[in-house]
Amino acid sequence: MKSLGLYFGPRNIHLIEADGKKISKVIQFPVPKSETNILDDKASEDVKIAQMLSEQLRKNPVESKSVNMVIPGKDFIIRTFHMPVLPQNELHDAVRFEAKKYIPFKVEELAADFRTFFDKPNKKNLILFVGIKKDILAKYTAMAIESNLKVDSVEYAGFSAIRLLQQANIREKDTCAVVYADPAEDDEVNFVVLEDGFPLFSRDIVLSGYTDEGSVKIEKLALADKIEKLKIEVRVSLDYYLRKFPTRNIKKLIFVAPPEYRVELENFVKDRALASRFVELSGLVDRPGAFSLGFYKAYAASQTKAVVPKVKVDLLAVTMKTKTAHARPMAHALKMPQFNFSMKYVLWGLLLCGVVFGWGLYKRVPAERERDMAISSQPRVAGVAPSASIDEVNAKNAQYIERLRNIDSQLRKRLFLTEELDVIPQVIPEGVWFRDFAFTDKQNTVELVIYGWAYLEDSNRELEAINNFLTRLKENQKFSVVFRDIKMTSATQEKLDNTPVTSFVIMCKGTR
């Protein structure tokens, strides 16, 4: 039986129809950009997406009319927190009450679900709480309904993509972090920490940077900058996770990313003293082509019934609704009888007060004990005393944020010359070789010195080849845009293993 997976990516919409694990239909189109400078363009982005989806389905009809939707993390509220072990009939209301501490609006405005994981070391339940505002959920479902599709399930993209690991036969029982990233497609990056298949932590990362020029947004981050930003954000995510779960160390970092970034990402993980694993997804589908994370997320959604993860959160099937208390019949007004003062009424009153006070003390002592245990089990942070006030903690946090900002600023100031240096082997003439080079970067000035030999059995031809090499460097726009002052400082005859060659030095100077 065929099934549909629909992923609303930040740049592209992907819809895939699969028959089991075999893909039968692929539909992809870009998210329409709002053009506020056109006065007659009144349709909202949601309406435009629904219209484009309907048009694509008319051109490429599908057999299945039921769709499993995957939504990016920017629209979700995802929290994990500890709670005491409670009876099942009390757990729902307790989670709903606890969740109010972690969300900036009313729980009643959410379509939400939760899953529990027993934390043996702490002897508590770890709660995974996932919610989405009902109006946002209605917006997505309306786009599908406008295209004559019935929505079967709604999932968070980071959790839905866990199916990709299951299909790739990756089953890590230890705590591991999974990074779903595609810098070239510029899809939302999902950072998910799993322990035996249970999501302990999730964070969503946007790699794009934009600048406004009139009514149009222009992308200002190059691909190399996005990869560097990905590394920085992964470091921040790892540090943030360790502050939240100091006793659950991550054993391995798993990358689901295009294969061309494998070497660079694995070298990055080595610097963190972690084990790494790179997942190849090309073997999961029978459709060759360039890597697309949005494509695979839509494919994971189409496998909702075929591949069921250990933890499945479906916000369409379960919502946390406020339970309406049963109305109690109003008691008839009591008519106080006339009575004479008696000592027994005083004794009964004192006894009642004593019972109420004792009951309050009985309920308060365990709560205070649990509070003291929570304080004693807090992770110790260097420079922050256990008795520190919230202002002291915020001040220390501000110092750490400033340090991270300074580190990020220094990293962004680095000069990348990969493409410029790649020009040299492309333009070097036959008979010319390198023997050494030197590069210096001082303030706003960069200098590249090239040392080499030329051997063509004729000193005049050798000098001609060196001049030809110099001319090609000057004429190459990619190289000369950085190194504008290019000249040969020396060309001399010498012997190399009793063979006469021409030794030369070329000086390339430029400004940042």
pLDDT tens digits along 358-380: 888 888 888 888 877 777 776 66
Q: Are residues 237 and 92 part of one domain?
A: yes
Residue 159's pLDDT band (boundaries 50, 70, 90)? confident
In-domain check, residue 336: no
Chain-centre distance for alpha carbon 337: 71
Q: Are residues 19 and 146 part of one domain?
A: yes
Q: Look at 308 and 53; give whichever has higher pLDDT.
A: 53
In-domain check, residue 380: no
Q: Are residues 431 and 290 part of one domain?
A: no
Q: Are residues 437 and 293 part of one domain?
A: no
Q: Are residues 424 and 282 part of one domain?
A: no
Residue 40's pLDDT band (boundaries 50, 70, 90)? very low
Largest CA distance in the chain: 134
In-domain check, residue 153: yes
* Length of the chain as a residue count: 512
Q: Are residues 295 and 425 part of one domain?
A: no
Which of 92-106, 355-369, 409-423 has the least mean pLDDT? 409-423
Chain-centre distance for alpha carbon 10: 13
CATH code where residue 274 lies: 3.30.420.380
In-domain check, residue 384: no
Please report which helix (H) or strand (E) contains residue 50, including its range. helix 45-59
Chain segment 300-341, per-residue pLDDT in tens: 888 888 887 777 887 776 544 433 223 333 333 334 444 455
Q: What percent of the chain has pLDDT over 90?
A: 11
Overall domain count for the chain: 2
Q: Are residues 228 and 94 part of one domain?
A: yes
Closest C-alpha to 316, from 66, 29, 60 = 66
Q: Are residues 294 and 427 part of one domain?
A: no
Among 302, 322, 346, the domain boundary falls at 302
pLDDT, position 338: 47
CATH code where residue 439 lies: 3.30.980.50
pLDDT, position 398: 86
Residue 440's pLDDT band (boundaries 50, 70, 90)? confident
Q: Tell me the mean pLDDT in the region 6-11.
A: 88
In-domain check, residue 372: no
In-domain check, residue 341: no
| d(C-alpha 271, C-alpha 176), whole Å | 17
Q: Look at 266 and 314; give whichever has higher pLDDT.
A: 266
In-domain check, residue 248: yes
pLDDT, position 211: 45
Q: Which residues are within 8 A (CB) of 380 and not within 5 positions of it... i.e. 6 or more apart?
A: 386
Alpha helix stretches (DSSP H) within 103-186 = 134-146, 157-160, 162-167
pLDDT, position 439: 87
State the chain's mean pLDDT as an integer.
82
Among 302, 337, 369, the domain boundary falls at 302
Residue 501 is part of which domain span? 418-511
Closest C-alpha to 178, from 291, 87, 271, 293 = 293
Highest mean pLDDT among 205-219, 256-270, 271-285: 256-270
In-domain check, residue 53: yes
Task: Dig out the tokens for 17 from the structure.
Answer: 């129809």
Among 302, 332, 364, the domain boundary falls at 302
pTM of the model: 0.58
